């Protein structure tokens, strides 16, 4: 992969609005794996220098996608080990490391779901908000175990409707509510399970707007609130303050009125003191509070 | 008004889905005023007996409309005073009493808004949810006083859009958000002002679903939460447990999926401990907590 081809790959990676953060992280690893095999270099030192540079560029292309930074950083730790190795050996080793991390990332979702299913057990009513692939995987693991779901529409794009269809496919009795009804229905749940966009260094949750309201209602009604996500979604202090992205206000389909500002912020922060525990691919970590 | 005409009036009163609770209460008083003037009776005792019976019927026609019960009850207290009076005098007196209560009810909204405007003062950012005629009147009183508004869509029927138009007409800078963003935007408000469907005997608020979430977020962010409503909206212990009405789930326009139950409950209860104070036509009552 020469510079021109890499630039094309980065542009496509930057423009991708279809895939989630974890899938993009795997895509970044695929690009780096290819760079390791075909990047122009005469020695392993040359190769490492080139790859170091390209990792920075890829990471910077999607700064708010925490799994991208985290998985690339893990791969990057392998670079220094290769410095001084025979070039071909370095190429093969780094490409394999990228593949290993891709598999690790793919397995992580399944393992998180397995850990969550084991911890929560059968016969519960689970409450969730928005659509998380990890939480959906958890529902799949709980199929046929007398589990019910209470889910939200998730305005403005209503990804709750997609989740409702998936749950119906699992024959899981499901109640669909507006966000406004969160406070009314939380008491009917045994537990809240929430996916994550990312986690702040202190464990606070960045997730689809409205998650914070679910957490407030859950605390008030003594319903435990668990976050289910892969460890790659953990932000570090070095990443700085998170940016809570806003999308096009037109997504709300509200009337356009002069003097009225329509807001469409996609993420909110659920502070750590409202979280009962975190379930990742390693296990269950319970809150100290 | 003979029995047949009264039955027609009751049927129309029962079927009315257009008017709010306070307007319906005034309509009930108009009906009773007419009954007082033209109801068939030979003596004032006959008249009082007839009116007692009809008051019960009208009250029972809209059991969840608290102002109807409250204003009719106030009028009913005048009946015993008339017993034994000259018939014509009784008729005129009771019709005037009904008119007085109608005026009292009309003035109450204005007085509540005036009290709230005086208490809250100029230069604030007010947060509200759904559309309350009392809160709208408050915004009118605060026009030109450097006040800003943060308001919600209020799914499923989006009465927030109507409020946004009204506020734009007052040239009041307004931010419109989804219910999901309540937790994000509450911190930008100085105070929450909420209308009421009714108040429980202990002061807890029954209002459009989502009000409870606003109150939870307001407490968490130290934003005071005030209820603005006429005293006629106070429930008494004798009214028993409130019924939180649900409307047609089709209002959500969610896809129909087998196994998925769509809920559309219109009201939630904000417990008294989340309320900073109540503003009615008498004045401001602050919470003890």
A208 at B interface, C-beta within 8 A = yes
ipTM value of the model? 0.89
Q: Looking at CA atoms only, how far is residue B3 from chain A in angstroms? A: 43
From residue A45, give the alpha-carbon distance in Å to each of A33, A75, A79, A136, B171.
Answer: 17, 16, 9, 44, 66
Question: Does A164 lie at the interface with B, CB-CB under 8 angstroms?
Answer: yes
pLDDT of residue B99: 97
Residue of chain B with shortest Cα separation from A163: B260
Judged by DSSP in three states, B148 sits in: strand
State mean pLDDT over A50-79: 93
Q: How far is A176 from chain B (nearest CA, A)?
A: 5
- Residue A277: the pLDDT is 98
B90 prior amide bond cis, ω within 30: no
Q: Is the Cβ pair A213, B183 closer than 8 Å?
A: yes
Confidence of residue A15 (pLDDT cuts 50, 70, 90): confident
Those of residues 173-202 in B touching chain A at CB distance below 8 A are: 173-185
* Cβ(A201)–Cβ(A251) below 8 Å: no
Asked if B163 has any chain A CB less than 8 Å from its own CB, the reply is no
Instruction: Yes or no: say if B129 and B211 are a contact pair by the CB < 8 Å rule.
Output: yes
Q: What percent of chain A has pLDDT over 70?
A: 100
Residue A93 contacts B, CB cutoff 8 Å: no
Tell me which chain A residue has its CA closest to the CA of residue B252.
A178
B171–A257: do the CB atoms touch at under 8 Å? no
Is there a contact between B180 and A213 if contact means CB atoms under 8 Å apart? yes
Q: Is 70 exceeded by the pLDDT of residue A289? A: no
For residue A225, the tally of other CB atoms under 10 A from its CB is 24
Strand order of the sheet with strand A198-199? A198-199, A205-208, A267-270
Task: Give every strand in the sheet of B205-208, ordered side by side.
Answer: B198-199, B205-208, B267-270
Shortest CA gap A227–chain B (Å): 18
Residue A17 pLDDT > 80, yes or no?
A: no
How far does B230 lie from chain A, in Å, by closest CA?
Answer: 25
Which percentage of chain A shows pLDDT scores above 90? Answer: 88
A contact residues 130-149, partner B, Cβ 8 Å cutoff: none
Query: Using the 8-state DSSP alphabet, how is residue B6 labeled?
Result: H
Taking Cα atoms as reference points, which of A169, A25, A15 lies closest to residue A101? A25
pLDDT of the residue at A180? 98
The catalytic site residues of B sit at 197
Does the beta-carbon distance from B183 to A158 stay under 8 Å? no
Of B185, B170, B195, B168, whose CA–CA distance to B270 is shortest? B195
A180 with B216: Cβ contact below 8 A: no
User: Helices B3-15 and B44-61 meet at what angle, rounded to 10?
Assistant: 20
Is residue A144 left, alpha or beta, with left meaning phi > 0 and alpha meaning psi from -120 to 50? Answer: left
Whole-model pTM: value is 0.90
Closest-CA residue in chain B for A210?
B180
Pick the residue from chain A with its C-alpha nearest to B249: A177
Average pLDDT in chain A: 94
Question: Band of the pLDDT at A30, cuts 50, 70, 90?
Answer: very high
Q: How far apart are CA A112 and CA B209, in angstroms?
A: 34
DSSP-assigned beta bridge partners for residue B149: B126, B174
The span from the CA of A185 to the CA of A177, in Å, is 8
Give B168's contacts in chain A (Cβ within 8 Å): 257-260
Listed by number, the residues of chain B in 229-288 with a beta carbon closer than 8 Å to a beta carbon of chain A are 244, 252, 254-255, 257-265, 268
Helix (H), strand (E) at residue B192: strand B191-194
Q: Which residues of A touch B188 (CB under 8 A)?
A: none
SS3 B191: strand
Distance of residue A148 Cα from the nearest chain B Cα, in angstroms? 10
Classified as helix, coil or strand, B127 is: strand
CB contact under 8 A, A258 and B168: yes
Q: Are A228 and B142 in contact (CB under 8 A)?
A: no
Average pLDDT of adjacent 10-residue blocks, chain B of 289 residues: 94 85 92 96 94 95 89 94 89 96 94 97 96 94 98 94 97 98 98 96 96 98 97 91 89 95 96 98 90
Contact: A217, B220; criterion CB under 8 Å: no
CA-to-CA dists, residue A47 to A41, A42, A57, B250, B286, angstroms: 5, 7, 15, 61, 71
pLDDT of the residue at B289: 62
Which tokens is B142 given? 């605060």
Residues of A with CB below 8 A from B161's CB? 254-255
A260: nearest CB among B174, B258, B268: B174
- Per DSSP, what are the bridge partners of residue A261? B175
Query: Is residue B279 a contact partner of residue B196, using CB atoms and an 8 Å limit?
Result: no
Tell whether omega for the bond before A276 is within 30 degrees of 0, i.e. cis.
no
**B252-288 residues labelled b (16+ CB within 10 A) or e (exposed):** bebeebeebebbbbbbbbbebebbbebbbbeeeeeee
Phi, psi torsion values for B131, nearest 5 degrees: -125, 115
CB contacts < 8 A, A to B, total 162
Give residue B120's Cα distance to chain centre.
21
| pLDDT(A141) > 80 | yes
Map residue B286 onto helix, strand or coil.
strand
Q: Name the pLDDT band for A280 (thresholds 50, 70, 90).
A: very high
Q: Does the CA dihedral B138-B139-B141-B147 come out positive or negative? A: positive
* DSSP for chain A, written as a single string: --HHHHHHHHHHHHH--SS-HHHHHHHHHHHHHHHHHHS--SSHHHHHHHHHHHHHHHHHHSTT-HHHHHHHHHHHTTHHHHTTS-HHHHHHHHHHHHHHHHHHHHHHHHHHHHHHHHHH-SSPEEEE-S--HHHHHHHHHTTTSS-EEEEE--TTTTHHHHHHHHHHHTT--EEEE-GGGHHHHGGG-SEEEE--SEE-TTSPEEEETTHHHHHHHHHHTT--EEEE--GGGB--GGG-SPP--B--GGGG-PPP-TTEEE--B-EEEE-GGG--EEE-SS-EEE---
Question: d(Cα B91, Cα A45) in Å, to the nearest integer?
Answer: 105
Confidence at residue B208, expressed as pLDDT on a 0 to 100 scale: 93
Of A168, A220, A255, the CB nearest to B216: A220
CB contact under 8 A, B155 and A153: yes
CA dist list (Å): A247 to A194, A263, A264, B176? 21, 8, 6, 14
pLDDT score for A108: 95
Rounded CA separation B220/B151 (Å): 19
Q: Does A155 touch chain B (CB under 8 A)?
A: yes
Quick check: A278 pLDDT over 70?
Answer: yes
Catalytic residue among A42, A197, A222, A268: A197
Q: Do the chains contact at B183 and A258, CB–CB below 8 Å?
A: no
**DSSP state, B234?**
B
Q: What angle do CA B183, B188, B193 make, to 5 degrees?
A: 80
pLDDT band at A64 (very low <50, low <70, confident <90, very high): confident
Indicate yes or no: CB of B179 within 8 angstroms of CB of A178: yes
């Amino acid at each position: 992969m020469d510079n021109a081809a890499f630039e094309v790959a980065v542009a496509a990676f930057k423009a991708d609005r279809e895939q989630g953060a974890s899938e993009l992280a795997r895509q970044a690893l695929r690009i780096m794996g290819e760079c390791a095999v075909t990047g122009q270099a005469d020695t392993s030192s040359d190769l490492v220098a080139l790859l170091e540079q390209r990792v920075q560029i890829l990471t910077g292309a999607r700064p708010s996608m925490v799994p991208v930074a985290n998985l690339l950083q893990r791969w990057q730790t392998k670079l220094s080990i290769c410095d001084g190795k025979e070039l071909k050996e370095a190429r093969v080793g780094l490409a394999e490391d990228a593949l290993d991390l891709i598999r690790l990332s793919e397995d992580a979702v399944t393992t998180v779901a397995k850990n969550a299913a084991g911890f929560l057990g059968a016969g519960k009513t689970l409450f969730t908000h928005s659509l998380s692939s990890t939480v959906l995987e958890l529902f799949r693991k709980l199929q046929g175990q007398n589990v019910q779901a209470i889910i939200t529409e998730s305005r403005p794009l209503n990804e709750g409707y997609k989740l409702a269809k998936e749950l119906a496919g699992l024959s899981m009795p499901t109640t669909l509510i507006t966000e406004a009804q969160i406070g009314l229905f939380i008491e009917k749940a045994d537990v809240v399970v929430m996916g994550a966009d990312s986690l702040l260094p202190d464990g606070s949750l960045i997730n689809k707007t409205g998650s914070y309201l679910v957490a407030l209602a859950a605390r008030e009604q003594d319903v435990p609130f668990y976050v289910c996500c892969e460890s790659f979604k953990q932000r570090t202090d070095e990443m700085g303050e998170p940016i809570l992205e806003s999308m096009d206000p037109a997504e709300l389909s509200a009337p356009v009125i002069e003097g009225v500002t329509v807001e469409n912020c996609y993420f909110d922060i659920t502070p750590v003191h409202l979280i009962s525990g975190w379930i990742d691919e390693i296990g269950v970590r319970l809150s100290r509070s």
